[in-house]
Structure 1
Amino acid sequence: MTAIVDKACVSLMHKQPQSTKNDVPEHSNEICKKKDSSKTSSGKSAIDSLLSKLPDLDSIFHIHEKIGEGTFSNVYLASLKCVTSNRQFAIKHLIPTSHPKRMQYELDCLNRIGGKDNVVSCDMTMRQADCVVFVMPYLKHQKFADYVLEMTVEETKLYMRNLLLALRRVHSFNIIHRDIKPSNFLYNRHTKQFLLVDFGLAQKVNENENSLRNPIMKRKREDDDLENAENP
């Protein structure tokens, strides 16, 4: 087990971020400590529950707090235990009710499309029984509502240019994201970095192309179709 954990740490440590600017500022560890001390009881309970289901995760990462929550997943902020590093990660825990095919579709998108042109990548996946997590680079960012009214014309042009750059990358694989919104296009105003995230609704638009083997359907509709197929 120790060898596996060490190998995972080394792999993540040497995996290069999308940009050298993706390193978190030096004061980030201090910020994490403050966040750790102010976890809500519900957030701590969610973290404890995740670690109990996937003990290997606890061997590799410090999980600081829950930073996102949705119908089909929760997202946590984490850092490596084995090294002193400023790099942070977003750990996406897919809710067990998610169908395995949907998880595979999303992972295919991250692996095939991610890592370039402002599109998020996947550094590692972990699974135990029905507990599945994606480990992705974390980009420190601000909430859209906090800066949208302050944006200049030039900054708005920069924002849109980088969003279109990410979409061009996605569309070049004959994939549409289908969930473009401010909360899925992260922006760090200080470093001028951007990141398109959450491919849970992505869909292939041309089945004759080899970018991905199957289209990713709407979440609700896909579940209904799969359930009907399995229970004729």
Structure 2
Amino acid sequence: MSVIYCLNPHCEDPKNDTKTKKCRSCQSNLILHRRYVAIKKIGRGGFGTTYLAVDMAQKNRYCVVKQLELAASNPESHRTALDLFAREAKTLAKLDHPQIPKLLDYFEENEQFYLIQDFVLGKDLEKEIKKGSIYQESSAKQFLRNMLPVLKYIHSQKVIHRDIKPGNILREKETNKLFLIDFGAVKEQANTQLMSQNPQSAFTKISVGTMGFAPPEQLAMRPVYSSDIYALAATCIFLLTGKAPKDLCDNTTGELAWEKHTTVSGTFAKVLNKMLELDVRKRYPSADDVIKALELVPYEQELAGSMVNLSSGKDSGDEEEEVTIASSTSQNLADAIRKRKEKLGGNIGGARNQPNIASLSQPKLQLTPEMIVQDYRQGNRNFSQQVLNELDLEGLKLAGASFSQSKLIGINLQKANLYRTNFYNANLAQANLKEANLQRAELYKANLKNADLQGADLMGANLNSAILKDANLGGANLRGAKVDDEQLKTAKTNWRTVFPDGKRRWW
């Protein structure tokens, strides 16, 4: 690090070199909470200022420091705001989802309030679209299928995000996984209370979401769970059209006149419009309802493609790669449907012997290692509910892929990169996972009976309810993993095994 930032919001010259522990401009301490050092300003928003920081207590691990800025003008209101903030931060701390950056810490220091979160290296969807590419129907539906389960989870925890928009959805660089960031609930809770105490507070200082993405009831300070559904649909419209919702608003009805700016099927448009209903009573009440509605869209409509480039021919290499990925994935879908039609005698669209649409939504093709590598490189990383027993995938890079509920008995994944890979309820019995990178992998309810995990890196992995009977964990790194002693007693460990507390046990 070459620069350290002073976090005193009133500091006139916050940049400092690394040779000092106190700000040379205002003499404030540069080490926050005796461990965090801010090294780069990431941005400013309704919440306050966000910094990239180094956690000196965790071997210089990167994290995000968010400094709250409150619209409080007197000590009593300021204290009320901080109390409410702390209460809401405790709620956010309970959120544990692979697509939400973990809240690591929260505290007050020097009358400022701070949140410390996991750092996710990536680019938000607003920046992606502004580079010149927009989504077509297939990628828009895939976006919704990726994000709706996140909404379902946070709503089950009685949390409303309140600020869903493209800028608050981050695509991780290494895995392409989407993350929901910047929960607006905290500041809104605090400032709503302050407004009731001081009605003269400027309305523009109250955080109620982002204009165009927030529905009417949220702007009226009465958000409900389906407010997030409206905002997610408005985000989807931005991805499909490249236009901000406020620029699509019909001044007479207040509705979004978006359909003439893109081409989607009538069925999909109907789903989006119901998500965008201004009347809460007519809108989908839950994320689960939208998920079920999307499942009714015929599989053939997935052939719309993934992205269309709007630039004038001066694309960067990254943009060209995105377009290539999109068209190749679309071709894979077309081939899958063609093969299924041939197998079923071409009767998919006919009245006689017509198969159930739901059965077509996930074509069961026998995947080979070559097909998995090709699909992964082309951006298709969903290998859920497949039969992949005894496949040889040694050394492959499959970070962020999903093998949820797949049969992987005896599979060879030795030395594979499986960072953040999803193995929920997968059968990995007798699998070879020696020296595999399984950091932060999702192994909830996975069957790892007799699996070889010698030397595997399982740091931060979720092994809750996983079957570990006779699994070989000799030399494995389980630091920070979610696994209990009863599970570990059924596995094989040795003096080289690093347990969740970071220690080795000498038997």
**Which among 162, 167, 173 is matched to residue 183 of structure 1?**
167
Distance change >3 Å, CA 44–CA 164, structure 1 → 2: farther
State the Cα deviation string for residues 27-54 of structure 1 (Å, max 9, x = none): xxxxx65xx49xxxx99627859x9656
CA distance in 2, matches of 1:170, 1:116: 9
**Which among 56, 63, 70 is matched to residue 89 of structure 1?**
63
CA distance in 1, matches of 2:67, 2:15: 10
Deviation at 1:217, TM superposition (A): 4.2
Deviation at 1:117, TM superposition (A): 4.1
Task: Tell me if structure 2 keeps the 8 A contact 1:44–1:65.
Answer: no
TM (normalized to structure 2)? 0.30
Aligned: 1:78 with 2:53: yes
Residue matched to 2:103: 122
State the Cα deviation string for residues 70-103 of structure 1 (Å, max 9, x = none): 2442110011235545x42110111253622441
Deviation at 1:154, TM superposition (A): 5.3
Task: Tell me if structure 2 keeps the 8 A contact 1:76–1:92.
Answer: yes
**Which among 184, 189, 198 is matched to residue 227 of structure 1?**
198
**Which among 32, 35, 38 is matched to residue 57 of structure 1?**
32
Structure number with higher relative contact order (C-alpha < 8 Å, ≥ 6 residues apart): 1
Distance change >3 Å, CA 60–CA 74, structure 1 → 2: same
Task: Tell me if structure 1 keeps the 8 A contact 2:37–2:54.
Answer: yes
CA distance in 2, matches of 1:174, 1:46: 40
CA distance in 1, matches of 2:134, 2:36: 36
Residue matched to 2:14: 45
> Secondary structure at the residue paired with 1:92?
strand
> Secondary structure at the residue paired with 1:176?
coil
CA distance in 1, matches of 2:36, 2:186: 28
> Secondary structure at the residue paired with 1:180?
coil
State the Cα deviation string for residues 115-143 of structure 1 (Å, max 9, x = none): 31412331112322412211100111114
Structure of larger gyration radius: 2
Task: Tell me if structure 1 keeps the 8 A contact 2:54–2:63.
Answer: yes
> Secondary structure at the residue paired with 1:62?
strand
- Residue identity matched to 1:81: M
Task: Tell me if structure 2 keeps the 8 A contact 1:117–1:165.
Answer: no
Identity of aligned residues (%): 20
**Which among 91, 101, 111 is matched to residue 109 of structure 1?**
91
Residue matched to 1:206: none
Residue matched to 1:133: 114
Residue matched to 1:169: 153
Gaps of 5+ in 1: 1-31, 204-215
Gaps of 5+ in 2: 5-10, 17-22, 73-77, 200-507
**Paired residues, number:** 175
CA distance in 2, matches of 1:43, 1:163: 41
Task: Tell me if structure 1 keeps the 8 A contact 2:38–2:51.
Answer: yes
Residue matched to 2:380: none
State the Cα deviation string for residues 157-192 of structure 1 (Å, max 9, x = none): 443222212111111123321211111122225412
CA distance in 2, matches of 1:179, 1:160: 16
Task: Tell me if structure 2 keeps the 8 A contact 1:76–1:91.
Answer: yes
Distance change >3 Å, CA 116–CA 43, structure 1 → 2: farther
> Secondary structure at the residue paired with 1:91?
strand
State the Cα deviation string for residues 53-74 of structure 1 (Å, max 9, x = none): 5655174123111112124421
CA distance in 1, matches of 2:171, 2:27: 33
Distance change >3 Å, CA 140–CA 103, structure 1 → 2: same
Task: Tell me if structure 1 keeps the 8 A contact 2:107–2:113.
Answer: yes
Q: What CA RMSD, in Å, does the superposition of the two structures yield over aligned residues?
A: 3.5
Aligned: 1:144 with 2:115: no
- Structure (1/2) with the larger helix percentage: 1
> Secondary structure at the residue paired with 2:85?
helix
